[in-house]
């Protein structure tokens, strides 16, 4: 348990004060007094305000993942429209909750690597102060809109979608979360370390990692709070210190002892490009909704013979020539297009392999294999419609010809042209 004198000594450090006041701008910054949070809303603008609340017993500090025009307007029972108008942005925080730090570490590494694969190079990382880690992406990295939705106002829904997508990807798609944990410990050791019976960890003979670990999506809600970078943890007495991603595996709790903390790293201060992350997550979510609703209208009846490449629409031809940007979206488009126009998997793999060589920077083979594996396991679905601005127009391949005006989807273009060609051949 933290003593008041320890807290005062730590939080009086000028380096902490400087970091705290800068990071707290346009955010709610809320102290915690061992068992209860301080009043909300609350902001800190001066050193004396921080010292005063610590003298009154504050043991830790927490910040809002949302940013506000003025946090002090967040009083009373506000409507969604009010919150949207007051909000200037929000940061994505993936909160890994697990009773075993080693398993949290494995999950954090998989999330960071997945984000990098999706183009988010500058992720933030910090130790929670107890048994978890926080992986973050700042708002400056986000696209302004996805699927016609203004991202600033699409909170907490967008954060939950991305959280669920990444949780699905590292386990259901890649199978790596369970694999890496079982490489670390046997199922019996996992049971011993978590206190959960083996039968609960493997209810149907397969280890379910989310029985012992959670990437917390339930807690993602408006005005949700996360422990402040460099804040102490009121129970462990350790600091929630930012880390470089490459320091994750070597991190020890000893580094987070107050006397060892160095206020050198920022958190959520590096910008990246999260457009691909949002696009993939949102499209995955749409597919999941379709599967749950079981919408037959989106299924495709495959043609008996593959449509000749000479009948492909302009957008597909442009994609096949290789791209600088939008390669991952193009992989998704091209794979589904080929499948829906009658190509078998051997042919699809061959076309995709050739296409990837034309890209200015080819995609990793592991990524392509993963995407093909996922698509192969699903029913045949159309690629995105032509009107979806996050795909064809966004990557610069929407250059319609006269025939494009009659159709809504690239597959429809190819199938219609093929049908017309057959009619012409019959007439001759």
Domain segments of the chain as ranges: 4-275, 296-427
How high is the mean pLDDT of the chain? Answer: 89
The total of other beta-carbon atoms located within 10 Å of residue 38's CB is 16
Q: So what's the pLDDT on residue 305? A: 84
| pLDDT digit string, tens, across residues 365-389 | 877 887 787 777 666 778 888 877 6
When pLDDT is cut at 50, 70 and 90, the band that residue 298 belongs to is very low
Paired strand residues for 133: 96, 127
| pLDDT digit string, tens, across residues 205-239 | 899 999 999 997 655 778 889 999 999 999 999 99
Q: So what's the pLDDT on residue 405? A: 82
| pLDDT digit string, tens, across residues 166-183 | 999 999 877 899 999 999
The CA-based dihedral angle spanning residues 373, 375, 376, 380, taken in that order and rounded to the nearest 10 degrees: 180
Q: With 50 as the cut, is the pLDDT of residue 296 above it?
A: no
Tell me if 121 sits within 8 A of 371, measured CB to CB. Answer: no
Report the C-alpha gap between 333 and 163 in whole angstroms: 23
Say if residue 357 is exposed, middle or buried (CB neighbours under 10 Å; 0-12, 13-18, 19+): exposed
Q: If you classify domain 4-275 with CATH, what class do you get?
A: alpha beta
The CA-based dihedral angle spanning residues 376, 377, 381, 386, taken in that order and rounded to the nearest 10 degrees: -60
Q: With 90 as the cut, is the pLDDT of residue 75 above it?
A: no
Radius of gyration of the chain (CA): 25
Q: So what's the pLDDT on residue 290? A: 60
Query: What mean pLDDT do residues 63-90 have?
Result: 91
Q: So what's the pLDDT on residue 428? A: 53
SS3 at position 204: coil
Q: With 60 as the cut, is the pLDDT of residue 66 above it?
A: yes
Q: So what's the pLDDT on residue 427? A: 56
Q: Which two tokens stand for residue 188?
A: 């019996």
| pLDDT digit string, tens, across residues 356-366 | 999 988 888 87
Q: So what's the pLDDT on residue 423? A: 65
Q: So what's the pLDDT on residue 300? A: 57
């Amino acid at each position: 348990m933290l003593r008041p004198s320890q807290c005062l000594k730590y939080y009086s450090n000028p380096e902490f004060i400087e970091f705290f006041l800068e990071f707290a701008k346009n955010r709610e910054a809320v102290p915690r007094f061992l068992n209860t949070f301080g009043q909300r809303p609350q902001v800190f603008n001066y050193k004396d305000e921080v010292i005063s609340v610590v003298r009154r017993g504050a043991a830790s500090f927490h910040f809002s993942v949302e940013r506000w025009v003025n946090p002090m307007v967040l009083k009373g029972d506000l409507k969604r429209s009010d919150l949207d108008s007051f909000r200037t942005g929000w940061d994505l925080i993936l909160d890994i909750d697990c009773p075993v730090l080693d398993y949290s570490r494995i999950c954090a590494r998989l999330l960071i690597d997945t984000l990098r694969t999706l183009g988010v190079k500058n992720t933030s990382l910090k130790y929670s102060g107890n048994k978890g880690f926080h992986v973050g992406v700042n708002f400056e990295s986000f696209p302004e809109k996805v699927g016609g939705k203004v991202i600033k106002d699409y909170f907490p829904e967008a954060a939950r979608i991305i959280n669920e997508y990444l949780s699905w990807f590292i386990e259901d798609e890649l199978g790596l979360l369970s694999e890496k944990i079982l490489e670390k410990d046997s199922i019996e050791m996992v049971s011993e370390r978590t206190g959960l019976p083996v039968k609960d960890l493997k209810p149907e003979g397969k280890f379910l990692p989310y029985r012992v670990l959670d990437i917390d999506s339930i807690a993602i809600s408006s005005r949700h709070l996360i422990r402040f970078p460099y804040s102490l943890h009121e129970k462990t007495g350790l600091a929630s210190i930012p880390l470089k991603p490459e320091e994750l595996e070597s991190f020890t709790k000893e580094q987070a002892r107050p006397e060892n903390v160095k206020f050198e790293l920022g958190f959520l201060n590096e910008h990246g490009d999260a457009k691909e992350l949002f696009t993939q997550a949102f499209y995955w979510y749409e597919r999941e909704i379709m599967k749950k609703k079981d919408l037959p209208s989106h299924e495709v009846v495959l043609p008996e013979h593959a449509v000749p490449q000479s009948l492909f629409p302009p957008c597909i031809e442009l994609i096949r020539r290789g791209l600088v940007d939008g390669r991952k979206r193009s992989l998704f488009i091209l794979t589904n297009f080929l499948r829906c126009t009658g190509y078998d998997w051997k042919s699809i793999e061959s076309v995709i392999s050739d296409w990837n060589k034309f890209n200015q920077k080819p995609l990793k083979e592991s990524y392509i294999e993963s995407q093909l594996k996922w698509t192969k396991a699903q029913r045949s679905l159309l690629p995105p419609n032509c009107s979806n601005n996050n795909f064809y127009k966004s990557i610069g391949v929407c250059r319609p010809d006269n025939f494009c005006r009659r159709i809504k989807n690239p597959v429809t273009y190819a199938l219609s042209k093929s049908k017309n060609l057959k009619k012409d051949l019959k007439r001759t």
